[in-house]
Amino acid sequence: MTDEQYEQLSSPQPTVVVRSLANDPDYVKCPRCWHYTHEGLHNYDGLCDRCCRVLIDHYPSHESVAHILERRQA
């Protein structure tokens, strides 16, 4: 273990590395929530899978549900 690694581990406030998907071209932010996903590229209106499920399960009369179900069958 190097001195730098030891300092990081023994520091009172640990260093956290966070990978941002905001600038990753393979991921898009869902327009409805805060998730970044690569599946949103294939869903209706770029919604993530979670938001698609919420619309289908809780808002079946929403205008987007028919389009979401069409995309899932294709």
The C-alpha atoms of residue 12 and residue 61 are separated, in whole angstroms, by: 52
Q: Which of 21, 54, 20, 13 is closest to 37 using CA atoms?
A: 21
User: Which helix (H) or strand (E) element contains residue 29?
Assistant: strand 28-29
Q: What is the pLDDT of residues 24-59, one digit of tens each?
A: 777 788 888 888 877 666 777 888 889 999 999 999
Domain boundary assignment for the chain: 21-73
Does the model's pTM come out above 0.75?
Answer: no
63/45: higher pLDDT: 63
Q: Say what the pLDDT of residue 28 is.
A: 80
For residue 24, what are its two tokens? 């990753």
